[in-house]
A and B are shown apart, each in its own frame.
Chain A
Amino acid sequence: SQTIHQWPATLVQPVGSPLSLECTVEGTSNPNLYWYRQAAGRGLQLLFYSVGIGQISSEVPQNLSASRPQDRQFILSSKKLLLSDSGFYLCAWSPLGRRTDTQYFGPGTRLTVL
């Protein structure tokens, strides 16, 4: 079966510090990968998605970036965090190669920027 991992689970960072969040998927190959952000009490905002290694599409201009160094690894980064970057970051995957409607979410990373 497929599983998706995210770490760290929680993170408290000062404004201006760098960020690296990691997501890995097991049990599948060539998945589509997604990063979402969820502000407190709000909906899901798609940040990035990837259909393959090194292929990243950005949905929202911001100080965040994403990379996919390996097939089942997706990394969200920032060089300098802003207060507005606080939120719940969710990684998701969907199968590649056929209609990929269903997305499966990871457990999330709670980021607090102080």
Chain B
Amino acid sequence: QQQVKQSPQSLIVQKGGISIINCAYENTAFDYFPWYQQFPGKGPALLIAIRPDVSEKKEGRFTISFNKSAKQFSLHIMDSQPGDSATYFCAASNNAGNMLTFGGGTRLMVKP
């Protein structure tokens, strides 16, 4: 019930392409879905987040798409750049609020 499943584990995209990372959850009480970006040797940093009252949120080249009925959400990185190469984590929390459940992470490599 508390798991968040993330796929793929690794992803290679050409510069300028679209990177897509998917996450699925079971707990219908989850109502906040953030994405974190982690560069090697650094702590994760919040990238973008969505609540289920909207189906899409866009910030620059980063878009979250959310499908409440399917209990799935995804991160799209448009015009991917080598500087986007990092590990991305999806996460979810419920209205208790104190805890985040993280997906397993996706290592993205953008080739120049």
Q: Tell me the chain A residues, 84-114 only, with Cβ under 8 Å from chain B.
A: 90, 92, 94, 99-108, 110
Chain B residues positioned under 8 Å from A51 (CB to CB): 98
A101-B34, A102-B34 known; A49+B43 contact, CB < 8 A: no
Chain B residues positioned under 8 Å from A49 (CB to CB): 98-99
Is B102 in contact with A44, judged by CB distance below 8 angstroms? yes
A90-B44, A105-B43, A110-B41 known; A42+B105 contact, CB < 8 A: yes
Is A101 in contact with B49, judged by CB distance below 8 angstroms? yes
Interface residues in A, total, Cβ within 8 A: 22
19 contacts between A and B (CB under 8 A): A41-B107, A42-B105, A43-B89, A51-B98, A92-B43, A94-B98, A99-B95, A99-B97, A100-B97, A101-B32, A101-B34, A101-B49, A101-B93, A101-B100, A105-B36, A105-B45, A107-B42, A107-B43, A108-B41
Is B32 in contact with A108, judged by CB distance below 8 angstroms? no
Is B43 in contact with A43, judged by CB distance below 8 angstroms? no
Which one of B32, B36, B49, B100 has the highest number of Cβ atoms from chain A below 10 Å of its Cβ? B100
Is B43 in contact with A101, judged by CB distance below 8 angstroms? no
The 4 closest A-B pairs by CB, nearest first: A105-B43, A101-B32, A43-B104, A99-B97
* B contact residues, range: 20 to 34
User: Is there a chain A Cβ closer than 8 Å to B46's Cβ?
Assistant: yes
Is A44 in contact with B89, judged by CB distance below 8 angstroms? yes
User: Is there a chain B Cβ closer than 8 Å to A24's Cβ?
Assistant: no
**B52: min CB distance to chain A, Å:** 13
Chain A residues positioned under 8 Å from B93 (CB to CB): 101
Please, how many angstroms separate the alpha-carbon atoms of A90 and B43 in the complex? 7
**B87: min CB distance to chain A, Å:** 9
Is A44 in contact with B97, judged by CB distance below 8 angstroms? no
**A91: min CB distance to chain B, Å:** 8
